[in-house]
Structure 1
Amino acid sequence: MRKRFFIRLLVLLLGYASQAQMGVMSTADSLYGHGNFTKAIYVYKTLEDQDLVADKIAKSYLAIGNYDAALNYYKQRVEAHPDDALSIYEYAKLLSRTKHYEASIAQFNTLMNIDFRNPNYHYEMGLALDRMDDSTAIDRFIAAYKLDDTHQKAIFKIGKYYLKKRKHEIANQYIDKGLESYANNLELISLKAQNYYYHYDYKNAQIWFEKLLEMGESSEFIHEKLSMVYAEFSEFEKAIEQRKLALKFNPLDATALFVIGTYYEKLEDFATAESYIQQSLKLKDVPLDFEYQKLGFVLNRQNKFKEAIKAFQTSIKEDPENVASEFYLLITKDKYYADYDAKVKLYEDFLKKHQDAMFSEFAKKRLKELKDERFMKE
């Protein structure tokens, strides 16, 4: 009787413990479902079987952007449940996202062994290979397409690949196939417009760039290319309108201002053309004396005095009033030249030109040192 009592008591206690664990799990799941990920992690970690909830902890860490912790828990889950394809898939994607490409590819190979006919495994593996600049990435994208010819992301990658290879007809075939199943895919429509543009088929390029505008798209690239298309057909008013829209994304684009000026010239609006071209020239005519001066400093620090002299000379050409660059040129020549007479002459010439400059006291002091050194040497 006593033995039966203890057995019943043990079963009862185990039941209570199991119910308690289920309650904790339910609480953690509720916190996760409502976006309270940090508290969900805390509650999940109180459960005894951590392998059971490692994937949920990983997802919670992923949600708050702690990728290292998410990777650790995905790894724990995968090691404990090597047949859990979903966890392996999420783990592989996160490895790729965090630039652990080779480890990611290894996990995708594991997934291929589980289900080779899953197109997403091929596509995601292709992304990892693409990020490594591995030329075999296209093979994975094509494999994904063959398994699912409506796979929009794979189609985009394939179309882009053939566009870069200048194989415009092949690119168009894939793009059209993608648009059959998703006619409003902005990425494919943009790719189609570019494909026609770079194939010099401006008539069709215009149709597809205009379609992007109709769908509410607006970017410097779209407006710039559409402007150039209109100009090809001598529709200069439309070309100006589009180039001005492109200019809003980059108001200091000297090239865009100049091109708009040339379009106004075509319309014989010479005053406006002059205005835009003048603006363009002002932006292009920015003195780079400080930049060359900085280059001279860097070269001096490396004892590349000959190159530094050229940099300071260029700085002075950019701005003849830059006394600082003249002085730095002077002391660089002082280091580079061995001839005392030549050095003395340089300092004398500098002081004649800049008697009251902020560098004149140093120049006077150095001139005296050079004369003394020359006297002692003689």
Structure 2
Amino acid sequence: MRIIFIILIVLVGKAEAQTSALAISDSLYALGNYEEAILELKSFEPKTEAVFVRLAKANEASGDWDTALEYYHKILVQNPNRVLTAINYGELLQKVGDIKAADSLFTNLSIAYPKNASFQYRLGEIKESKGDSISIEFFRKAIALDTTHQQALFKVAKYELAHSNYPLAKKFAKMGLEKNPKNVSLLSILAQTYYNQQYYRAAMEQFEKIVALGKGNEFVYNKLGMCFYRSFQYEEAIENFKECLKFEDRNSETHYNLGKLYAIIGDFQKSEIELLMAILIKKQPVDAEFLSLALAYKGLEDYKNMLKYTEAALEENPDNERALYEKAIAADNYFKDITSKIQYYQNYVNSYSQNGNPSLIELAQSRISDLKKEQHLQVENQN
């Protein structure tokens, strides 16, 4: 009896010592001292399942994924019923790119636990990484099992948005936001859905929620700028496009939008600066930017530069009808010779009389008529 009692004391002592040592390794792990935690765990004898689990996690955290996989595999061989370990193992298999093994593992888990939404979601991720379109069906299965599954709801809402199924995109985004109103990914899907439907005020509200959560980025501020622009709130649009430039100051489209907005509110000097920046940055044809710059000079009544940049626009794109028409206006205001003025308008009419903008053609023809009358009066006065 005495011997049994002594053995029990020894066993209890060893258990308490191991528990204490595990607490030390857990503290090292929590502080990010993974290598020290691993050394502490390796000193354990005999190594229990709890030790192997900690070794697997510590090696994974330190970046030694191959060793971590070995430990996870060893644990599951000894105890196949450790579901959480199996999940960790499967996630790491995904991370290292062993898609086939991960697929097999999560398939087995989904069969063993058919009501587990996360296993369906993982299978969807795996199929998606292989470019298999069936992935969306697994995400839908996950939602059928758990209507609040945030990641699955995002995947399906994003899919519906990409396929212009806007009512469904809104439905799934809102389902997720009911559970977590601060889910930025779902807020973005909902905002983009409204934006694509041209519900700019509704889109604005969702994008502003993202900004309020401290997650504003170039994309969000650009979309906000466009929402305000298309809602005729030009000052607010300008402020949001300026925020875009804090993320990427060499975005020609942002400078172009600012240039157009400054022209709308009558600040032609700032419009000139922004449009010049757009032109300098952009590497592809920039006829639209040159034309906008010409119109900014038109607002400043600087017809010399207006003529210069309409010509630049036409060099970039000889088929830019508006540029050719505005070139005639620039020439009309810049040159004194009436014959030259008429020729610029006539050049436009000759080029677009068959397939041009009827309103512009009518204006050009009317101006030609007025100039010819003016020319006739000049001749009469000279006689």
Q: Given the two structures, how large is their TM-score scaled by the length of structure 2?
A: 0.67
Runs of 4+ in 1 over 6 A off after TM superposition: none
Aligned to 2:26: 32
Quick one: distance in 2 between partners of 1:200 and 1:268? 26
1:117 Cα deviation from its structure 2 partner:
0.9
Residue in 2 that maps onto 1:45: 42
Select which of 128, 132, 149 maps to 2:147: 149
Over 3 Å counting, the alpha-carbon distance change for 1:29 and 1:190 in structure 2 is same
The SS at the match of 1:248 is helix
User: What is the match of residue 268 of structure 2?
Assistant: 270
Q: Is the 8 A contact 1:230 1:236 kept in 2?
A: yes
The residue aligned with 1:189 is 187
Whether contact under 8 Å (1:29, 1:40) holds in the other structure is no
Deviation at 1:12, TM superposition (A): 4.1
1:93 pairs, out of 86, 91, 95, with 91
Instruction: In structure 1, give the amino acid aligned to 2:41.
Output: Y
Q: What stretches of structure 1 of length at least 5 have no aligned partner?
A: 287-378
Alignment partner, residue 348 of structure 2: none
Q: Distance in 2 between matches of 1:76 and 1:248?
A: 51
**How far off is 1:46 after superposition?**
3.0
Structure 1 counterpart of 2:10: 16
1:91-146 deviation digits (Å, cap 9, x = unpaired): 01111122222211111122123211111111222222222222122122111111
- Residue number in structure 1 paired with 2:250: 252
- What amino acid sits opposite 1:44 in the alignment? L
Give how far 1:193 is off: 0.2
Where in structure 2 are the equivalents of 1:227-306 lying within 5 Å? Answer: 227-284=225-282
Q: CA deviation at 1:201?
A: 2.4
Which residues in structure 2 correspond to 1:1-378 (within 5 Å)? 8=3, 12=6, 16=10, 19-20=13-14, 22-34=16-28, 35=30, 36-50=33-47, 52=49, 53-284=51-282
| SS of the residue 1:252 aligns to | coil
CA distance, structure 2, for counterparts of residue 162 and residue 49 of structure 1: 54
- Which blocks of at least 5 consecutive residues in structure 2 are unaligned? 285-383
CA distance change for structure 1 residues 49 and 163 in 2, over 3 Å: closer, same or farther? farther
Q: SS of the residue aligned with 2:188?
A: helix
Deviation at 1:90, TM superposition (A): 0.9
**How far apart are 1:49 and its partner, in Å?**
4.1
1:20–1:188 Cα change, 3 Å: same
Equivalent in the alignment of 1:369: none
Work out the number of aligned pairs and report it.
280
- SS of 1:61 mapped into structure 2: helix
**Secondary structure of 2:271's aligned partner:** helix
Q: Which moved more, 1:63-72 or 1:154-163?
A: 63-72
Identity %: 29
Please state how far the C-alpha of 1:16 moved relative to its aligned partner: 2.5
Equivalent position of 1:374 in the other structure: none
CA contact (8 A) 2:25 2:41 kept: no
TM superposition shift of 1:22? 4.8
**Residues 222 and 43 (structure 1), Cα distance of their counterparts in 2 relative to 1, 3 Å cut:** same
Q: CA–CA distance in 2 between the matches of 1:226 and 1:216? A: 15
CA apart distance, 1:66: 2.0
Q: Distance in 2 between matches of 1:76 and 1:82?
A: 10
Distance 2:48 2:107 in 1: 23
Given the superposition, is the C-alpha separation of residues 202 and 59 from structure 1 closer, same or farther in structure 2, using an over 3 Å criterion?
same
Kindly state the Cα deviation for residue 283 of structure 1 after the two structures are TM-superposed. 2.6
Match of 2:333 in 1: none
- Partner of 1:358 in structure 2? none
